[in-house]
Protein backbone atom coordinates (compact mmCIF):
# COMPACT_ATOMS: atom_id res chain seq x y z
CA UNK A 1 0.00 0.00 0.00
CA UNK A 2 1.55 3.37 -1.01
CA UNK A 3 1.84 6.08 1.63
CA UNK A 4 -1.38 7.99 2.22
CA UNK A 5 0.48 11.29 2.36
CA UNK A 6 3.89 12.80 2.86
CA UNK A 7 4.63 15.70 5.18
CA UNK A 8 8.08 16.95 4.27
CA UNK A 9 10.37 13.99 4.88
CA UNK A 10 7.79 11.99 6.87
CA UNK A 11 5.83 9.16 5.21
CA UNK A 12 2.30 8.49 6.49
CA UNK A 13 0.70 5.05 6.24
CA UNK A 14 -2.56 3.53 7.43
CA UNK A 15 -3.14 0.13 9.02
CA UNK A 16 -1.09 -2.48 10.83
CA UNK A 17 0.07 -4.42 7.75
CA UNK A 18 3.82 -4.61 7.10
CA UNK A 19 4.68 -2.58 10.20
CA UNK A 20 8.10 -4.24 10.49
CA UNK A 21 9.01 -3.41 6.87
CA UNK A 22 8.18 0.25 7.41
CA UNK A 23 10.10 0.57 10.66
CA UNK A 24 13.22 -1.19 9.30
CA UNK A 25 13.27 0.96 6.14
CA UNK A 26 12.69 4.05 8.26
CA UNK A 27 15.82 3.20 10.33
CA UNK A 28 17.90 2.67 7.17
CA UNK A 29 16.66 5.72 5.23
CA UNK A 30 16.49 8.09 8.21
CA UNK A 31 12.98 9.12 7.13
CA UNK A 32 10.39 9.43 9.92
CA UNK A 33 7.26 7.36 9.46
CA UNK A 34 3.79 7.85 10.88
CA UNK A 35 1.36 4.92 10.94
CA UNK A 36 -2.29 5.65 11.75
CA UNK A 37 -5.51 3.65 12.17
CA UNK A 38 -3.72 0.57 13.54
CA UNK A 39 -6.55 -1.94 14.07
CA UNK A 40 -8.80 1.03 14.85
CA UNK A 41 -11.93 -0.98 13.97
CA UNK A 42 -11.01 -3.95 16.19
CA UNK A 43 -13.36 -3.34 19.10
CA UNK A 44 -11.86 -6.10 21.26
CA UNK A 45 -8.23 -5.02 21.10
CA UNK A 46 -7.49 -1.92 19.01
CA UNK A 47 -3.97 -0.62 18.48
CA UNK A 48 -0.52 -2.18 18.49
CA UNK A 49 -0.06 -5.75 19.66
CA UNK A 50 2.42 -6.60 22.38
CA UNK A 51 4.89 -8.19 19.94
CA UNK A 52 4.88 -5.03 17.78
CA UNK A 53 5.65 -2.87 20.83
CA UNK A 54 8.45 -5.31 21.68
CA UNK A 55 9.90 -4.83 18.17
CA UNK A 56 9.77 -1.02 18.54
CA UNK A 57 11.61 -1.33 21.88
CA UNK A 58 14.29 -3.50 20.23
CA UNK A 59 14.80 -0.90 17.46
CA UNK A 60 15.03 1.78 20.15
CA UNK A 61 17.82 -0.19 21.88
CA UNK A 62 19.61 -0.68 18.54
CA UNK A 63 19.62 3.03 17.70
CA UNK A 64 20.71 6.30 19.30
CA UNK A 65 18.29 9.24 19.43
CA UNK A 66 15.14 7.53 18.18
CA UNK A 67 11.89 9.31 19.08
CA UNK A 68 8.70 7.29 19.40
CA UNK A 69 5.25 8.78 20.02
CA UNK A 70 2.18 6.63 20.67
CA UNK A 71 -1.36 7.91 21.08
CA UNK A 72 -3.21 6.70 24.24
CA UNK A 73 -5.22 4.06 22.35
CA UNK A 74 -2.10 2.72 20.59
CA UNK A 75 -3.75 3.11 17.18
CA UNK A 76 -1.19 5.65 15.92
CA UNK A 77 2.60 5.67 16.13
CA UNK A 78 5.14 8.29 15.07
CA UNK A 79 8.61 6.82 14.58
CA UNK A 80 11.57 9.19 14.07
CA UNK A 81 14.70 7.04 13.68
CA UNK A 82 18.08 7.85 15.23
CA UNK A 83 21.51 6.59 14.20
CA UNK A 84 22.11 2.84 14.09
CA UNK A 85 24.48 2.14 16.97
CA UNK A 86 24.54 -1.63 17.57
CA UNK A 87 26.93 -3.00 20.19
CA UNK A 88 25.91 -5.42 22.94
CA UNK A 89 22.13 -5.79 23.40
CA UNK A 90 19.83 -7.95 25.47
CA UNK A 91 16.14 -8.21 24.71
CA UNK A 92 13.23 -10.27 26.03
CA UNK A 93 11.06 -10.89 22.97
CA UNK A 94 7.29 -11.12 23.29
CA UNK A 95 6.20 -14.78 23.16
CA UNK A 96 3.31 -13.94 20.78
CA UNK A 97 5.89 -14.18 17.98
CA UNK A 98 9.01 -16.28 17.49
CA UNK A 99 12.52 -14.86 17.83
CA UNK A 100 12.76 -15.11 14.02
CA UNK A 101 10.37 -12.13 13.77
CA UNK A 102 12.91 -9.95 15.60
CA UNK A 103 15.97 -11.50 13.94
CA UNK A 104 14.69 -10.44 10.51
CA UNK A 105 14.99 -6.78 11.56
CA UNK A 106 18.46 -7.30 13.10
CA UNK A 107 19.80 -9.07 9.99
CA UNK A 108 18.60 -6.19 7.77
CA UNK A 109 20.08 -3.49 10.05
CA UNK A 110 23.14 -5.23 11.54
CA UNK A 111 25.69 -4.55 8.76
CA UNK A 112 24.98 -0.78 8.92
CA UNK A 113 25.48 -0.25 12.66
CA UNK A 114 28.31 1.79 14.17
CA UNK A 115 29.52 -1.08 16.38
CA UNK A 116 29.45 -4.81 15.53
CA UNK A 117 26.20 -6.26 16.80
CA UNK A 118 26.13 -8.79 19.61
CA UNK A 119 22.55 -9.47 20.62
CA UNK A 120 21.04 -11.88 23.14
CA UNK A 121 17.39 -12.55 22.44
CA UNK A 122 15.14 -14.52 24.78
CA UNK A 123 11.72 -15.94 23.90
CA UNK A 124 10.24 -18.54 21.52
CA UNK A 125 12.93 -20.06 19.28
CA UNK A 126 10.49 -22.14 17.20
CA UNK A 127 6.92 -21.18 16.35
CA UNK A 128 4.45 -21.50 13.48
CA UNK A 129 4.05 -17.77 12.78
CA UNK A 130 7.72 -16.81 12.29
CA UNK A 131 10.76 -18.45 10.67
CA UNK A 132 12.46 -20.67 13.24
CA UNK A 133 15.97 -19.86 14.44
CA UNK A 134 17.27 -22.85 12.41
CA UNK A 135 15.51 -21.50 9.30
CA UNK A 136 17.09 -18.05 9.78
CA UNK A 137 20.52 -19.58 10.37
CA UNK A 138 20.36 -21.67 7.21
CA UNK A 139 18.54 -19.46 4.71
CA UNK A 140 19.05 -15.83 5.81
CA UNK A 141 22.68 -15.97 6.97
CA UNK A 142 23.82 -17.82 3.83
CA UNK A 143 22.26 -14.97 1.79
CA UNK A 144 23.80 -12.26 3.99
CA UNK A 145 27.28 -13.83 3.57
CA UNK A 146 27.13 -13.26 -0.18
CA UNK A 147 26.81 -9.50 0.35
CA UNK A 148 29.30 -9.23 3.22
CA UNK A 149 32.01 -11.21 1.34
CA UNK A 150 33.88 -12.00 4.56
CA UNK A 151 31.64 -13.66 7.13
CA UNK A 152 34.00 -13.39 10.07
CA UNK A 153 31.96 -12.40 13.13
CA UNK A 154 28.63 -13.53 11.64
CA UNK A 155 27.03 -16.14 13.86
CA UNK A 156 23.66 -17.28 15.17
CA UNK A 157 23.85 -19.71 18.07
CA UNK A 158 20.99 -21.40 19.90
CA UNK A 159 21.86 -21.26 23.61
CA UNK A 160 18.55 -22.75 24.78
CA UNK A 161 15.47 -23.91 22.93
CA UNK A 162 12.01 -22.72 23.85
CA UNK A 163 8.87 -23.60 21.89
CA UNK A 164 5.49 -21.84 21.85
CA UNK A 165 3.47 -20.78 23.76
CA UNK A 166 5.67 -19.97 26.78
CA UNK A 167 9.11 -19.86 25.16
CA UNK A 168 12.07 -19.81 27.53
CA UNK A 169 14.62 -20.08 24.71
CA UNK A 170 17.69 -17.94 24.11
CA UNK A 171 19.85 -17.20 21.05
CA UNK A 172 23.01 -15.20 20.48
CA UNK A 173 23.33 -13.26 17.21
CA UNK A 174 26.54 -11.50 16.19
CA UNK A 175 26.95 -9.47 13.00
CA UNK A 176 29.96 -7.51 11.65
CA UNK A 177 29.62 -3.99 10.21
CA UNK A 178 30.44 -2.95 6.66
CA UNK A 179 31.04 0.40 5.00
CA UNK A 180 29.03 -0.70 1.96
CA UNK A 181 27.59 -3.83 0.37
CA UNK A 182 28.79 -5.18 -2.93
CA UNK A 183 26.54 -5.48 -5.97
CA UNK A 184 26.06 -9.10 -6.97
CA UNK A 185 24.65 -10.92 -9.95
CA UNK A 186 23.20 -14.26 -8.97
CA UNK A 187 21.34 -16.13 -11.66
CA UNK A 188 22.39 -19.75 -11.22
CA UNK A 189 20.85 -21.62 -8.27
CA UNK A 190 22.67 -24.88 -9.04
CA UNK A 191 21.43 -28.39 -8.29
CA UNK A 192 20.49 -29.65 -4.83
CA UNK A 193 23.43 -31.72 -3.56
CA UNK A 194 22.50 -32.52 0.04
CA UNK A 195 19.81 -32.19 2.64
CA UNK A 196 20.48 -31.50 6.29
CA UNK A 197 18.02 -31.13 9.10
CA UNK A 198 17.46 -30.63 12.80
CA UNK A 199 14.73 -32.29 14.82
CA UNK A 200 14.32 -30.87 18.33
CA UNK A 201 12.30 -32.22 21.23
CA UNK A 202 11.59 -30.20 24.38
CA UNK A 203 9.97 -31.82 27.42
CA UNK A 204 8.64 -34.74 25.32
CA UNK A 205 9.77 -38.32 24.77
CA UNK A 206 12.95 -38.71 22.63
CA UNK A 207 10.98 -41.23 20.56
CA UNK A 208 9.01 -38.29 19.08
CA UNK A 209 12.19 -36.88 17.53
CA UNK A 210 13.32 -40.26 16.18
CA UNK A 211 9.95 -40.96 14.57
CA UNK A 212 9.97 -37.50 12.93
CA UNK A 213 13.47 -38.15 11.54
CA UNK A 214 12.48 -41.52 10.04
CA UNK A 215 9.41 -40.05 8.35
CA UNK A 216 11.22 -37.04 6.84
CA UNK A 217 14.16 -39.19 5.76
CA UNK A 218 11.85 -41.70 4.08
CA UNK A 219 10.46 -38.94 1.84
CA UNK A 220 13.81 -37.31 1.07
CA UNK A 221 15.78 -40.47 0.26
CA UNK A 222 13.52 -41.02 -2.76
CA UNK A 223 15.18 -38.01 -4.38
CA UNK A 224 18.69 -37.78 -2.94
CA UNK A 225 21.09 -40.16 -1.16
CA UNK A 226 22.88 -37.50 0.92
CA UNK A 227 20.34 -36.87 3.70
CA UNK A 228 21.37 -36.36 7.31
CA UNK A 229 19.03 -35.19 10.07
CA UNK A 230 20.33 -34.88 13.59
CA UNK A 231 18.28 -34.77 16.75
CA UNK A 232 18.52 -32.08 19.40
CA UNK A 233 17.14 -33.53 22.63
CA UNK A 234 16.63 -30.96 25.36
CA UNK A 235 16.06 -31.66 29.03
CA UNK A 236 15.66 -29.60 32.17
CA UNK A 237 16.49 -25.90 31.94
CA UNK A 238 17.73 -26.26 28.34
CA UNK A 239 14.26 -27.26 27.12
CA UNK A 240 12.40 -23.98 27.77
CA UNK A 241 8.99 -23.61 29.41
CA UNK A 242 6.66 -25.55 27.08
CA UNK A 243 6.56 -29.10 25.70
CA UNK A 244 6.81 -29.54 21.95
CA UNK A 245 8.86 -30.86 19.06
CA UNK A 246 9.55 -29.85 15.48
CA UNK A 247 11.79 -30.12 12.45
CA UNK A 248 13.72 -27.79 10.16
CA UNK A 249 15.04 -29.13 6.85
CA UNK A 250 17.70 -27.42 4.75
CA UNK A 251 18.56 -28.18 1.12
CA UNK A 252 21.97 -26.96 -0.12
CA UNK A 253 22.81 -26.60 -3.82
CA UNK A 254 26.10 -26.88 -5.69
CA UNK A 255 26.21 -23.05 -5.92
CA UNK A 256 25.72 -22.48 -2.18
CA UNK A 257 22.00 -21.61 -2.29
CA UNK A 258 19.94 -22.78 0.70
CA UNK A 259 16.23 -23.61 0.83
CA UNK A 260 14.60 -24.24 4.20
CA UNK A 261 11.29 -25.55 5.54
CA UNK A 262 9.90 -25.70 9.09
CA UNK A 263 7.23 -27.69 10.83
CA UNK A 264 6.35 -27.61 14.52
CA UNK A 265 3.90 -29.51 16.71
CA UNK A 266 0.56 -27.97 17.69
CA UNK A 267 0.13 -26.23 21.02
CA UNK A 268 -2.99 -26.89 23.10
CA UNK A 269 -4.32 -23.42 22.21
CA UNK A 270 -4.08 -24.15 18.47
CA UNK A 271 -5.62 -27.61 18.40
CA UNK A 272 -7.03 -30.26 20.72
CA UNK A 273 -5.56 -33.05 18.59
CA UNK A 274 -1.86 -33.68 19.30
CA UNK A 275 0.62 -33.67 16.42
CA UNK A 276 1.78 -37.02 15.07
CA UNK A 277 5.58 -37.18 14.46
CA UNK A 278 5.22 -39.08 11.16
CA UNK A 279 2.84 -36.43 9.80
CA UNK A 280 5.18 -33.65 10.92
CA UNK A 281 8.19 -35.19 9.17
CA UNK A 282 6.23 -35.75 5.96
CA UNK A 283 4.79 -32.20 6.04
CA UNK A 284 8.28 -30.67 6.45
CA UNK A 285 9.61 -32.78 3.56
CA UNK A 286 6.75 -31.66 1.31
CA UNK A 287 7.29 -28.01 2.22
CA UNK A 288 10.98 -28.34 1.37
CA UNK A 289 10.17 -29.95 -1.98
CA UNK A 290 7.80 -27.05 -2.67
CA UNK A 291 10.62 -24.55 -1.91
CA UNK A 292 12.97 -26.45 -4.25
CA UNK A 293 10.27 -26.44 -6.94
CA UNK A 294 9.87 -22.65 -6.58
CA UNK A 295 13.63 -22.43 -7.01
CA UNK A 296 15.65 -19.27 -7.50
CA UNK A 297 18.79 -18.24 -5.64
CA UNK A 298 17.20 -17.84 -2.22
CA UNK A 299 14.49 -19.19 0.02
CA UNK A 300 11.02 -17.68 -0.62
CA UNK A 301 10.92 -16.37 2.97
CA UNK A 302 13.98 -14.17 2.29
CA UNK A 303 13.36 -12.77 -1.18
CA UNK A 304 12.76 -9.41 0.53
CA UNK A 305 16.25 -9.51 2.08
CA UNK A 306 17.86 -10.06 -1.33
CA UNK A 307 15.85 -7.11 -2.71
CA UNK A 308 16.90 -4.88 0.20
CA UNK A 309 20.62 -5.58 -0.20
CA UNK A 310 20.38 -5.16 -3.98
CA UNK A 311 18.81 -1.72 -3.52
CA UNK A 312 21.39 -0.65 -0.92
CA UNK A 313 24.40 -2.05 -2.82
CA UNK A 314 27.03 -0.12 -4.76
CA UNK A 315 25.99 1.90 -7.80
CA UNK A 316 26.18 -1.04 -10.18
CA UNK A 317 23.60 -3.30 -11.74
CA UNK A 318 22.51 -6.15 -9.47
CA UNK A 319 20.62 -9.16 -10.81
CA UNK A 320 18.99 -11.84 -8.72
CA UNK A 321 16.94 -14.85 -9.78
CA UNK A 322 14.08 -15.91 -7.48
CA UNK A 323 11.04 -18.12 -7.62
CA UNK A 324 7.55 -16.61 -7.85
CA UNK A 325 7.46 -13.50 -5.64
CA UNK A 326 5.61 -13.82 -2.34
CA UNK A 327 3.00 -11.21 -1.37
CA UNK A 328 5.35 -10.01 1.37
CA UNK A 329 8.12 -9.38 -1.20
CA UNK A 330 5.79 -7.51 -3.57
CA UNK A 331 4.84 -5.09 -0.78
CA UNK A 332 8.48 -4.79 0.25
CA UNK A 333 9.42 -3.68 -3.29
CA UNK A 334 6.70 -1.01 -3.07
CA UNK A 335 8.10 0.19 0.26
CA UNK A 336 11.63 0.32 -1.17
CA UNK A 337 10.29 2.67 -3.85
CA UNK A 338 8.66 4.87 -1.17
CA UNK A 339 11.71 5.14 1.09
CA UNK A 340 14.64 4.99 -1.36
CA UNK A 341 13.07 5.77 -4.78
CA UNK A 342 14.45 2.48 -6.09
CA UNK A 343 12.48 0.65 -8.77
CA UNK A 344 13.14 -2.91 -9.89
CA UNK A 345 12.84 -4.42 -13.31
CA UNK A 346 11.02 -7.76 -13.00
CA UNK A 347 11.05 -10.22 -15.87
CA UNK A 348 10.52 -13.91 -16.49
CA UNK A 349 13.72 -15.35 -17.94
CA UNK A 350 13.26 -17.21 -21.20
CA UNK A 351 13.44 -20.98 -20.96
CA UNK A 352 15.45 -22.85 -23.58
CA UNK A 353 13.19 -25.80 -24.42
CA UNK A 354 16.12 -27.78 -25.87
CA UNK A 355 18.12 -27.54 -22.66
CA UNK A 356 16.70 -30.15 -20.28
CA UNK A 357 18.36 -28.50 -17.25
CA UNK A 358 16.40 -25.30 -17.87
CA UNK A 359 12.96 -26.92 -17.81
CA UNK A 360 12.80 -27.51 -14.06
CA UNK A 361 10.71 -26.03 -11.31
CA UNK A 362 8.24 -23.18 -11.39
CA UNK A 363 8.44 -19.98 -13.43
CA UNK A 364 11.31 -17.80 -12.18
CA UNK A 365 11.55 -14.03 -11.75
CA UNK A 366 14.72 -12.10 -12.56
CA UNK A 367 14.97 -8.96 -10.39
CA UNK A 368 17.25 -6.22 -11.71
CA UNK A 369 18.09 -2.86 -10.15
CA UNK A 370 20.87 -0.31 -9.81
CA UNK A 371 22.02 0.10 -6.20
CA UNK A 372 21.87 3.51 -4.53
CA UNK A 373 25.43 3.21 -3.16
CA UNK A 374 24.25 3.25 0.47
CA UNK A 375 27.17 3.81 2.82
CA UNK A 376 27.34 3.20 6.54
CA UNK A 377 27.74 6.71 7.91
CA UNK A 378 27.99 5.40 11.48
CA UNK A 379 30.92 3.03 10.93
CA UNK A 380 34.03 4.17 12.71
CA UNK A 381 37.06 4.84 10.51
CA UNK A 382 39.79 2.57 11.81
Instruction: List CB contacts of 216: < 8 A, sequence separation 6 or more.
Output: 197, 199, 229, 247, 249, 281, 282, 284, 285
Indicate whether 282 pLDDT > 80: yes
Indicate whether 360 pLDDT > 80: no
Indicate whether 15 pLDDT > 70: yes
The answer to whether position 70 is within a domain reads yes
The answer to whether position 21 is within a domain reads yes
- Asked if residue 319 lies in contact with residue 186, where contact means CB atoms within 8 angstroms, the answer is yes
Q: What does the pLDDT read at residue 8? A: 80
The answer to whether position 17 is within a domain reads yes
Q: What does the pLDDT read at residue 370? A: 94
Residue predicted with more confidence, 39 or 3:
39
User: For the segment 206-221, what is each residue's pLDDT rounded down to a tens digit?
Assistant: 899 999 999 999 999 9
The answer to whether position 157 is within a domain reads no
User: For the segment 66-117, what is each residue's pLDDT rounded down to a tens digit?
Assistant: 999 999 988 999 999 999 999 999 999 999 999 999 999 999 999 999 999 9
Q: Which residues pair with 200 in a beta bridge?
A: 232, 246
User: For the segment 110-166, what is each residue's pLDDT rounded down to a tens digit?
Assistant: 999 999 999 999 999 998 888 999 999 999 999 999 888 777 889 999 999 998 888
Q: Given 54, 83, 112, which residue is the final one in a domain? A: 83
Rounded distance between C-alpha atoms, residue 146 and residue 108, angstroms: 14
Nearest to 288 by CA among 268, 259, 256: 259
The answer to whether position 162 is within a domain reads no
Q: What does the pLDDT read at residue 285? A: 95
Tell me the backbone φ, ψ of residue 173, rounded to 5 degrees: -115, 125
pLDDT > 70: what percent of the chain?
95
User: For the segment 296-321, what is each residue's pLDDT rounded down to a tens digit?
Assistant: 999 999 999 999 999 999 899 999 99
Q: Given 294, 323, 346, which residue is the final one in a domain? A: 294
Least confident of 27-31, 192-196, 267-271, 308-312: 267-271
Indicate whether 356 pLDDT > 70: no
Nearest to 265 by CA among 211, 314, 315, 310: 211
The answer to whether position 255 is within a domain reads yes
Q: What does the pLDDT read at residue 382? A: 40
- Report the DSSP pairing between strands 67-70 and 77-80: antiparallel
Mean residue pLDDT across the chain: 90
Q: What does the pLDDT read at residue 109? A: 95
The answer to whether position 155 is within a domain reads no
Rounded distance between C-alpha atoms, residue 311 and residue 315, angstroms: 9
Structural domain range at position 258: 192-294
pLDDT > 90: what percent of the chain?
71
Give the N- to C-terminal CA distance of the chain in Å, as an integer.
Answer: 42
Q: What does the pLDDT read at residue 346? A: 95
Which value, in Å, is the radius of gyration of the alpha carbons in the chain? 21
| CATH number for the domain that contains residue 283 | 3.30.360.20
Residue predicted with more confidence, 149 or 333:
333
pLDDT band at 325 (very low <50, low <70, confident <90, very high): very high
Q: Given 83, 111, 141, which residue is the final one in a domain? A: 83
User: For the segment 219-266, what is each residue's pLDDT rounded down to a tens digit?
Assistant: 999 999 999 999 988 777 888 888 999 999 999 999 999 999 999 998
Instruction: Write the secondary structure of the chain as one string of H (helix), E (strand) and C (coil).
Output: CCCCEEECCEEEEECCCCHHHHHHHHHHHCCCEEEECCCCCCCCCCCCCHHHHHHHHHHHHHEECCEEEECCCCCCEEEECCEECEEEEEEECCCCCEHHHHHHHHHHHHHHCCEEEEEEEEEECECCCCCCHHHHHHHHHHHHHHHHCCCCCCEEEEEECCECCCCCEEEEEEECCCCCCCCCEECCCCCEEEEEEEEEEECCCHHHHHHHHHHHHHHHCCCCCCEEEEEEEECHHHHCCCCEEEEEEEEEECCCCEEEEEEECCCCCCCCCCCCHHHHHHHHHHHHHHHHHHCECCCHHHHHHHHHHHHHCCCCEEEEEECCCCHHHHHHHHHHHHHHCCCCEEECCCCCCCCHHHCCCCCCEEEEEECCCCCCCCCCCC
The answer to whether position 69 is within a domain reads yes
Structural domain tally of the chain? 2
pLDDT band at 381 (very low <50, low <70, confident <90, very high): very low
Rounded distance between C-alpha atoms, residue 11 and residue 32, angstroms: 7
Q: What does the pLDDT read at residue 354? A: 55
Amino acid sequence: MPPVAQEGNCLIYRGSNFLKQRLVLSCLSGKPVKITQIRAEDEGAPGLREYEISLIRLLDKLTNGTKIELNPAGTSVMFSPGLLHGGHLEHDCCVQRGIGYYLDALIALGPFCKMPLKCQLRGVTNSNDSPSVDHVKGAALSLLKRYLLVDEGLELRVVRRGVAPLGGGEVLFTCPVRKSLRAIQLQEPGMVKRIRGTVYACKVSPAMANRTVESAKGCMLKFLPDVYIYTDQNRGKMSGNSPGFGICLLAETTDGVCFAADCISNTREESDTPSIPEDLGREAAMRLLDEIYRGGCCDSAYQWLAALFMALGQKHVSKFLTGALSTYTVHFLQHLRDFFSVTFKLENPEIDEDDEDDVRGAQKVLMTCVGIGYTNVSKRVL
